[in-house]
Amino acid sequence: FFTRNLEHEAKEAHQLENDLRVSLVSNHVELHKAISNNEFKLMYQPIVDVASDTVHAVEALVRWNHPKRGLISPADFIPMAEQIQVMDVLGNWIIRRACSDALTLPTNSDGSHVGVSINISATQFIESEILVSTVKQALEETNIEPQLVKLEITESAAFGSEKIRTIDALRKLGCKTALDDFGTGYSSLTQLNTIPLDYIKLDRSFIAALGGEDQLKDQRSDRITRAVLSIAQTFNLLPVVEGVETSTQCKRLRDYGATLIQGYLFSKPLELDETRKFIENFGKKAQVKGVEHA
Ligand code: C2E
Ligand code: MG
Ligand code: MG
Ligand code: MG
């Protein structure tokens, strides 16, 4: 009885392993196919400046528009794309598309242009010349003002001198740079001192408990948020706060001097045409508010 049961279990484990391997392989094949079929699309999430009532920028967030499975989130395919070394190809498409989409955005009611924030994967830094030349080409082709292009870098990868040279080269093109998910990875204050940066994006986890029911968690969240904002100020970096979901959080952040806010409070990631509408409506609301204040 035991032997048979063990045999059965071993067989089942083997089957499962096989299934996993098969599905992994077919996913690889699918991902390669998706790249050549151009099955990806970008959505945009507004980053609002609550001090000037303008949309500072929109963050480009990629989705895999799978023919059978519908929209697949980046968390579910970017690690694989990196693993099978197609992230540079996909990343290049993302950079060019985001820049050309950004040109179609309306201006804010005060005449200022809306920027576009683009996530750059750590693996795109491996072929650093390709990354720099892709960005350069995208700038030239679209004629977008370079400072409107913000490149988001995650802190999860090591910042060697080679990577810092690449970031420098990107900034020499006129682009701005942002350290994404600040506080979750490997960042140290030394890095903030050495990486040429314009923005730091405070990770959602910092402020998740801010203004929530749990007073102890609220206090802790409040303390760390203020500390990080003061670090940003010390290093002369513009803080962008991610994952702001409530007006209590927004008010509190504003009190602490953070005015660049991104999160569901203002909007989820939107289709391009919805993004244009969002900017237009945001401008109209700002004008009404301006009249009220006058
Ligand atoms: P990220 O760059 O930190 O992007 C912010 C993520 O937080 C987005 O998830 C966004 O939808 C989500 N988010 C924004 N506001 C809120 C909020 O108020 N509450 C909650 N719960 N979530 C919020 P998304 O689009 O699923 O992207 C996940 C991650 O995938 C991104 O994190 C980024 O690391 C990566 N990613 C997305 N697009 C790209 C891309 O084009 N290239 C690369 N290399 N990575 C990308
Ligand atoms: Mg990002
Ligand atoms: Mg982020
Ligand atoms: Mg994040």
The pair of three-digit structure tokens given for residue 28, joined into one six-digit string: 């690889």
Q: List, for residues 171-204, the tens digit of each pLDDT value.
A: 999 999 999 988 776 667 878 888 899 999 999 9
Q: List, for residues 99-134, the tens digit of each pLDDT value.
A: 999 999 999 999 999 999 999 999 999 889 999 999
* β-sheet bridge partners, residue 62: 42
Do 279 and 258 form a contact (C-beta atoms < 8 A)? no
* Orientation angle between helical segments 128-142 and 87-102, nearest 10 degrees: 20
Kindly report the average pLDDT of the chain as a whole number: 90
Q: What is the ipTM of this complex?
A: 0.97
Residue 265: pLDDT over 90: yes
* 122 touches ligand 1 (CB under 6 Å): no
* 94 touches ligand 1 (CB under 6 Å): yes
Share of the chain above pLDDT 90, in %: 66
Q: List, for residues 6-44, the tens digit of each pLDDT value.
A: 777 777 777 766 665 556 666 788 888 888 888 999 999
Among the atoms of ligand 1, which is closest to the Cα of residue 245? Answer: 18
Label residue 290 by pLDDT band (50, 70, 90): confident
User: What's the confidence (pLDDT) of residue 206?
Assistant: 87
* β-sheet bridge partners, residue 179: 153, 200
Among the atoms of ligand 1, which is closest to the Cα of residue 154? Answer: 34
Question: How many A from CA of 178 to the centre of ligand 3?
Answer: 9
Residue 1: pLDDT over 60: no
The pair of three-digit structure tokens given for residue 91, joined into one six-digit string: 């990343």
Mean pLDDT of 218-247: 95
Question: How many A from CA of 180 to the centre of ligand 4?
Answer: 7
Question: How many A from CA of 165 to the centre of ligand 4?
Answer: 25
- For ligand 1, atom 11, the nearest C-alpha belongs to 269
User: What's the confidence (pLDDT) of residue 80?
Assistant: 87
Do 151 and 170 form a contact (C-beta atoms < 8 A)? yes
Q: List, for residues 271-285, the tens digit of each pLDDT value.
A: 999 999 999 999 888
Q: List, for residues 210-227, the tens digit of each pLDDT value.
A: 999 999 999 999 999 999
